[in-house]
Amino acid sequence: MNSSLRALLVLAALHGTACIVDTTDDTPCDPNPCATANRTVCVEEAGEARCLCDRGFIARPNGACEPVGPSNCAEHAGDASEPDDCLLSARPLSEGSGGARQQTIEPIGDYDFFQFTATARGVYKLSVKADAPLMPRVDVFDQGGLWLSSAEAPGQVELYFRARTSAPYFARLSHSPQDPSVAVGGYTLSLTPRGEDFHGNFAEDATPATDPYTSNPDPNYGRFEYPYDEDWFSFSGTQGRSYSLSFDPSLMLPVVAVYDGSNLRQPLFTDRNAELSFSVPASRTFFIVLYAPQGEEGSYAFKLFAN
């Protein structure tokens, strides 16, 4: 890294349980920008450096890297996989039915952690089938310990998630805290890849919509690959122009939310109709976000027109 780039290093604000450093370099971890005490492990994620806790330390929800000990990584009697109550003691989980793990939640309050590798933009399904009276809950964490998603249900539960980067991920099995009873029991956990999610789920990896300023724009095709998938499209809006969306009536009709790139917390509007019209308040990037109304899977196609 040259001296001018080194001078531009900016330590980003703490992000979940790890921090991001934008180095704008092809080798963001060389030299290592991670200098915070107990957080000097540098990994590259989407071209940026991310600082993780040192070996022997574990990330906590408040962002601190604590030494591993009984309070944050318990050891106790149980099945043959113990100890496995934290990320650092996670057991490997392979893809497919041949890699399924059969274990137990025991004693009361037990956690079982598993580690697997996921590919950027890949969609994965974690399936848990439990013995009564266990009510299984599965949580997913990224390589820095940042919580991503969870699902729970009596008897059997499925969790779908999309990997944002190619990296190790972690799954945690437990008895649901929503169940007022205390329970232990056996379960089977399996990991199934579902292929690549073609359109991004966030503004930073949104798909550019086909040019709306032509007389007959090409259609934008997509599919919701898993329950509650979102597909993000971007376009360059011009102040004073109006726009319209036209959906193929022979395919699924998604719910539409349009966001101003300057405010991704509150949509400009949300609607569900085969034909939609809207205007934009300024000349900048805007986002069209599509999702299925009941979380179902299915295909869609739409055209975006600038009127």
Looking at the fold, whether 292 and 238 belong to one and the same domain comes out as: yes
Residue 4: Cβ-neighbour burial (10 angstroms; 0-12, 13-18, 19+) = exposed
What confidence tens digit (pLDDT) does each residue in 52-106 have? Answer: 999 999 998 888 999 999 989 999 999 999 999 999 999 999 998 889 999 999 9
Residues of 111-138 as b/e, b for ≥16 C-beta within 10 angstroms? bbbbbbebeebbbbebbbbbeeebbbbb
Looking at the fold, whether 215 and 228 belong to one and the same domain comes out as: yes
Which of 12, 44, 66 lies at the terminal end of a domain, its last residue? 66
Average pLDDT over all residues of the chain? 90
What confidence tens digit (pLDDT) does each residue in 46-67 have? Answer: 889 999 999 999 998 888 999 9
Looking at the fold, whether 110 and 162 belong to one and the same domain comes out as: yes
Looking at the fold, whether 46 and 154 belong to one and the same domain comes out as: no
User: Confidence class of residue 173 from pLDDT cuts 50, 70 and 90?
Assistant: very high
DSSP assignment of 80-92, as one string? TT-S-SSGGGPEE
Looking at the fold, whether 53 and 101 belong to one and the same domain comes out as: no
Instruction: Write out the residue range of the structural domain in which residue 49 sits.
Output: 3-66
Q: Phi and psi at residue 144, in whole multiples of 5°?
A: -95, 5
Looking at the fold, whether 159 and 260 belong to one and the same domain comes out as: no
Instruction: Output the CA–CA distances (angstroms, integers) from residue 68 to 9, 64, 119, 297, in the order listed.
Output: 30, 12, 28, 42
pLDDT at 8 over 50: no
Looking at the fold, whether 127 and 110 belong to one and the same domain comes out as: yes
What order of strands is seen across the sheet that includes strand 284-291? Answer: 207-208, 230-237, 284-291, 255-260, 269-271
Looking at the fold, whether 164 and 221 belong to one and the same domain comes out as: no
Looking at the fold, whether 78 and 34 belong to one and the same domain comes out as: no
User: Confidence class of residue 19 from pLDDT cuts 50, 70 and 90?
Assistant: low
pLDDT at 4 over 80: no
CATH number of 218's domain: 2.60.120.380
Which of 31, 66, 101 lies at the terminal end of a domain, its last residue? 66
Looking at the fold, whether 74 and 187 belong to one and the same domain comes out as: yes
Looking at the fold, whether 52 and 82 belong to one and the same domain comes out as: no
pLDDT at 253 over 90: yes
pTM: predicted TM-score of the whole model, two decimal places:
0.81
Number of domains in the chain: 3
Instruction: Output the CA–CA distances (angstroms, integers) from residue 59 to 56, 99, 168, in the order listed.
Output: 10, 28, 15
Looking at the fold, whether 138 and 208 belong to one and the same domain comes out as: no
